[in-house]
Structure 1
Amino acid sequence: MTKRFRSVAAAIAIGGLSVAALAGCSSDAAAPADGTVTIEIGDRPTADRPEDRAYFDERVAAFEKANPDIDLQPVETGYDASTFQALAAGGSLPDVMSVPLTEPQGLIKRNQAADITDALESEGLLDALNPTILALTKNSDDRVFAIPTNAYSFGLVYNRDLFAQAGLDPENPPKTWDEVREAAKKISDATDAAGFSVLTTANTGGWQFTGMTYSFGGTVENEDGSKATFDDAPSTDALELLQTMRWDDGTLPENTLYDVQSQGQDFAAGKIGMILGASDSYYNVVQNLKLPAEQFGIGGMPQSGGTQGTLSGGTVQIVNPNASDAEKTAAVKWVEFFYLQRFLDEDTAVEDARASSEAGSVTGLPGLPVVNADQYSEYFTWIADYINVPSANFTPYLEASADIPIVPEPVNNAQEVYGALDTVVQTVLTDKGADIPALLSTAQSDVQSRLSR
C-alpha cells in the first residue's frame, strides 16, 4: 500500500466520476471451466488522470495476484445521476461500483442492487462495519445491499483561539442551538470576529439549511423523495434562529454570499468563530488555507429540543443485482481490498500512514468511520506514530457523533432542492423583514414541482 491509496480511493469514493464506458456487465457470462470468477469493477480513473489510473491498475494487479481465482475487468463506468437508470435498465452496470449514500434505499426498492449479506458474513466483514451507517443500506428484513466506504456528518467547526479570547471553553463547544447563539454573542462582543456563519451559494446554503432542519427535528423530503416536507416548524425555527442572530444579535457576518472557499478563507483568517462542517473541513481551513492546526476545533452538530439528528453523506459500493453468489463474494473481496483494508489490517494501515506522513499529507484525521468503533480505535492505535493532526481537538465531535442519529441527504434531486433553498437562506440574511413562512411556502411549491417531474 502506498500513499496513493488515500487520494485515489477518496476521489473514487466521492462517486462523481462520469460515465465514460458502457460495457456490459459480466454477470450473465458462464463461469470458466478453470473455476476463475470474472467481475467487472467500475470507477477506473479516466486517461486524463494518468497517475490515479496507474495506481488503480496497480491495485487491480495486486488483488489478482493475491486472489488468483478472481479476474478483474476494470471499466470507467461511475455513478452519474443522469445516466444511472438507463444503465440499470439496459443491464450495463458493472458488477461492483460506487454510488452516493443517498441511493441504497431507492435501489433496494427497484431491485437494482444485490443482497450481499451472505457474502459479507462469509468474508467476516459484516461485523467490522459501522452499524449506524450500515443501517442505511438495509431493507426491512435486515438484509444488506451495499458496503459503506466513505462517510461524513455535520458538526460545529470552531476557532479554539477565538473561544479562549471570548472566555469560552475550547474543550466544551456548544451542544445546542441556544448555546451556539450565546457563544456567538460572546465571540462577537470580545473579538473582531463574527460569532457564526452559514453558507449561502452554489447549493451549499440549502445543503446546510437541510442539516439545520434535521437538527431541529425536521426533514426536507419524505422517505421516498416524493414530497417536500420543510414547510413546518423545524425549518421555520431554524430560519428564525438565523434571522435573530443576523438582525437582532448582529453575530453573523455582513457578507451573506459565502461558498465553501470564501467562508473558509474568512474562518482561517480569524474573522469567523463558528461554522458548520465535517471533520474533513480540516483539509480546507488548515492544510489549504493555513489556519494554525492547534486552533481547529470541532464538536457535534448542535441540536434543538433534544437529540434529533445530523446530516450525513458519503459513498457505498453496490453489486449488480444479477451477480451470482461467486461474483458477489469476489466483489466484496475487491471492496475490502481497495477501500477498507487499511482499517482492517495493521501492516496496510502502518504502511499507508507512514507514506502519507512522509509525503507531508494529513495523516490520522478522525471522522465518521465506516468501520465499527472498536476497529476504528484499533486503527488509530496502529498508526499512532504517524498521526500529524491535533487528535484531541476532534474529541467533542467524536463523542457527540456517537449519540446523534445520522440522517441521509434528500434522496430525490438533492442538488435542485438545495439550490431552491439557497434563495430562502439568502433572503433571510439580506432582508430584515423577510416573511419566513411565505418564503418556505413558495420554496416548497417550487421543490414539489421538481420532485413530481
Structure 2
Amino acid sequence: MHRTLTGLVIVAALCLSACGTPAQDPPAAAGKVSITVTGQPPTSQAVERKLFDQEVAEFEAANPNIDIVPHEGFMDPKTFSAKLAGGQLEDVYYVYFTDPATIIARRQAADITEAAKDLPVLRQLQQPLIDIFKDRTGKLYGLPTANYSMGLLYNKTLFAKAGLDPDKAPATWDEVRDAAKKIAALGNGTVGFAEASKNNQGGWHLVTWSYAMGSQIARQQGEKWTADFNNSKVKQALQQLKDMRWTDGSMGEKQLLEATDLQRMMGAGQLGMYLAAPENVPVLVKEFKGRYEDYGVAAMPGGHATLLGGEGYMINPKASPEKIKAGLTWIQWKYLNPDRIETQIKRYLDEKQPIGLPAIPTPDIWTGDVRARQTELKTKYANVPQKNFQSYLDGNTKLKGNLEPPNAQQVYAVLDSVMQGVLTNKDADIDQLLSDAEAKVNSALAQVK
C-alpha cells in the first residue's frame, strides 16, 4: 500500500491508462537528452496535474538540454516485468518501498552509485530510507522521495460528545477499546472503531496491528523468507478486534468494509476511529465533506512499532549514462530539492490546498537543517490546525518503523480472510485462522527471489 488508504484503487485506476502499450514518445531535439518519467497525475486530479505539468515546464526551462516526457500513473507490479522485457518501461519509474529489494535482485534497475555519489541529498535524507534502495554490498539503485507511517485517525467532535478529551488521543489499545465503547454508546448508528477487511486492505491493516503489538509478519533466514505472525502478539490483536466487535458492539454490524467505506463514515460524522496515515485527512475533507478541525491523527497505540511505507524512483537498467544523469537531475529537482520547499508550499496554498499536515505537500524525509527549515515553513503557512497532528509526529519518534512484507499484496490477500473471520463470525477460532493463513503466506513467501 502507498500514498493513502485508497492506494490500491488509485493505482489500479491509473494503470488503466499508464500500464498498457504507451504511445510513441517524440524524439529529443538535436543535442538534447529525452527521458520518459512516471508520476504524472491523471486529468481527474486537476490541481495535482496542473502543478506537475507546470513543474515539467519549469524544469525544462532550467535544464534546456533535457526533455521530460511524462507518463500518467505510478506502478503496477503485475505488469512491471513485462514492460521492462518489452522495452516499454520508462527511463525513470516510480516504486513502492516494498519493491526495490526484488527489483535490485532481478537487475531491473540501473546502478546509480557513481552517478549519485556527489548529490547533496544523500547527506540530507534519512539514512534508513536511502538504505531501502541499496543492495547488500552498499550499491545504490534509487532514491526515496516520500514516506508515511500508519497512525490512529480519530474524530475530535465525537470524542467531545462522548465525554472524552478531544486533544488527547488513545495511547494504548485498552484506551482505544474504552473510547470506542463510549462513542458507540452515542447511538444513532455511530460506530466507535471500524476496520477494513477486503480487497487486500484487511490484510494490510492486520500487518499494521501486528507491528503495533510488537510482532513481525515475515522473517528472513539467509535467502529464505518464512511467516512470523502465528504468535501470542498477533492473537492479542485479533482478540481485541473480536472483543470490540462481538462483546462491546463498538464496531457496528456492517462489516467487509474497505477504505472508502471508512472514509465515508468518518466524513459523515458516524465513526470515531480507524487506522490511517495523515494523507487520509484531505480525502475526508475534499471527497466526503469533512472539516479539518474535526480530525486528529495520533501515533500508533501501544508504543512498539508502526507500518512504514513510502515511494521513490529508480532508473531503467537499459538507460544510457546520459539518461541516468538526466534522470537523477529530474528526481532531485522535482522531488528532493530543499530550495523549492517554500515554492511548493506557496503553490499549494494558492490552490487552496492544505498546509500543515504531515508529509503534505513536502515529504518528511529530511534531517538536520533542511527538516528544521521545512517545519518552520509549514508552520508559517499553515491553514489547517497543526496541533491536531502533533501527537502523531511526537509519537512516531519513539516507534520502530517496519516495512511491508515481501510479496506484500499476496500476503495481504491471505490475511484478509483472517480479518474477515474475526469480524464476521462470532465463533471464529483465532488459532485456526492463523494456522491456515501461515501455510498460505509461506507459499507466497517461497516465491520471493
Is the contact between residue 21 and residue 75 of structure 1 (CA under 8 Å) also seen in structure 2?
Answer: no
Seen in structure 2, the aligned counterparts of structure 1 residues 64 and 166 have a Cα distance that, compared at 3 Å, is: same
Pairing partner for 1:152 from 134, 148, 153: 148
User: 1:269-302 CA deviation, whole Å, 9 max, x = no partner?
Assistant: 3332211111011123233223332220110012
Matched, 1:69 2:56: no
Amino acid at match of 1:212: W
SS at match of 2:427: coil
Is the contact between residue 14 and residue 315 of structure 1 (CA under 8 Å) also seen in structure 2?
Answer: no
Amino acid at match of 2:412: Y
Seen in structure 2, the aligned counterparts of structure 1 residues 163 and 52 have a Cα distance that, compared at 3 Å, is: closer
Is the contact between residue 225 and residue 410 of structure 1 (CA under 8 Å) also seen in structure 2?
Answer: no
Amino acid at match of 1:314: G
Separation in structure 2 between the aligned mates of residue 49 and residue 345 of structure 1, nearest angstrom: 22
Amino acid at match of 2:413: G
User: 1:203-259 CA deviation, whole Å, 9 max, x = no partner?
Assistant: 221111111111122233345785333323332221111112222333222222322
Query: Which shows bigger deviation, 91-100 or 319-328?
Result: 319-328
2:390 alignment counterpart: 395
Pairing partner for 2:428 from 429, 434, 451: 434
Q: CA deviation at 1:417?
A: 2.6
2:419 alignment counterpart: 425
1:3 alignment counterpart: none
Q: Pairwise mapping of residues 16-415 of structure 1 onto structure 2 (< 5 A)?
A: 17=15, 18-21=18-21, 37-43=33-39, 58-74=54-70, 79-89=75-85, 92-189=88-185, 193-223=190-220, 226-303=225-302, 307=304, 309-323=305-319, 325-341=321-337, 343-346=338-341, 348-357=343-352, 361-367=353-359, 369-372=364-367, 374-384=369-379, 386-412=381-407, 414-415=408-409
Seen in structure 2, the aligned counterparts of structure 1 residues 140 and 90 have a Cα distance that, compared at 3 Å, is: same
Seen in structure 2, the aligned counterparts of structure 1 residues 260 and 325 have a Cα distance that, compared at 3 Å, is: same
Normalised to the residue count of structure 2, the TM-score between the two structures is 0.83
Percentage of matched positions with identical amino acids: 37
Residues matched between the structures, number: 432
Seen in structure 2, the aligned counterparts of structure 1 residues 432 and 42 have a Cα distance that, compared at 3 Å, is: closer
Query: Which shows bigger deviation, 177-186 or 255-264?
Result: 177-186
Separation in structure 1 between the aligned mates of residue 119 and residue 134 of structure 2, nearest angstrom: 18
Separation in structure 2 between the aligned mates of residue 446 and residue 415 of structure 1, nearest angstrom: 13
1:28 alignment counterpart: none
SS at match of 2:399: coil
Seen in structure 2, the aligned counterparts of structure 1 residues 383 and 173 have a Cα distance that, compared at 3 Å, is: closer
Query: Which shows bigger deviation, 432-441 or 104-113?
Result: 104-113
Seen in structure 2, the aligned counterparts of structure 1 residues 138 and 452 have a Cα distance that, compared at 3 Å, is: closer
User: 1:155-180 CA deviation, whole Å, 9 max, x = no partner?
Assistant: 00111223234443333322222332
Amino acid at match of 1:281: N
Q: CA deviation at 1:111?
A: 2.5
Is the contact between residue 133 and residue 148 of structure 1 (CA under 8 Å) also seen in structure 2?
Answer: yes
Separation in structure 1 between the aligned mates of residue 245 and residue 264 of structure 2, nearest angstrom: 20
Is the contact between residue 160 and residue 297 of structure 1 (CA under 8 Å) also seen in structure 2?
Answer: yes
Separation in structure 1 between the aligned mates of residue 233 and residue 313 of structure 2, nearest angstrom: 33
Amino acid at match of 2:398: D
Separation in structure 2 between the aligned mates of residue 32 and residue 158 of structure 1, nearest angstrom: 53
Q: CA deviation at 1:392?
A: 0.8
Normalised to the residue count of structure 1, the TM-score between the two structures is 0.82
Seen in structure 2, the aligned counterparts of structure 1 residues 400 and 55 have a Cα distance that, compared at 3 Å, is: closer
User: 1:422-448 CA deviation, whole Å, 9 max, x = no partner?
Assistant: 222122122222111111222233344
Separation in structure 1 between the aligned mates of residue 71 and residue 399 of structure 2, nearest angstrom: 38
Query: Which shows bigger deviation, 381-390 or 275-284?
Result: 381-390
Is the contact between residue 369 and residue 376 of structure 1 (CA under 8 Å) also seen in structure 2?
Answer: yes
Is the contact between residue 109 and residue 317 of structure 2 (CA under 8 Å) also seen in structure 1?
Answer: yes
Is the contact between residue 33 and residue 326 of structure 2 (CA under 8 Å) also seen in structure 1?
Answer: yes
Is the contact between residue 206 and residue 421 of structure 1 (CA under 8 Å) also seen in structure 2?
Answer: yes
Query: Which shows bigger deviation, 177-186 or 388-397?
Result: 177-186
Amino acid at match of 1:201: K
Q: Which runs of 5+ in 2 are unaligned?
A: none
SS at match of 2:227: coil
Matched, 1:416 2:410: yes
Q: CA deviation at 1:92?
A: 4.8
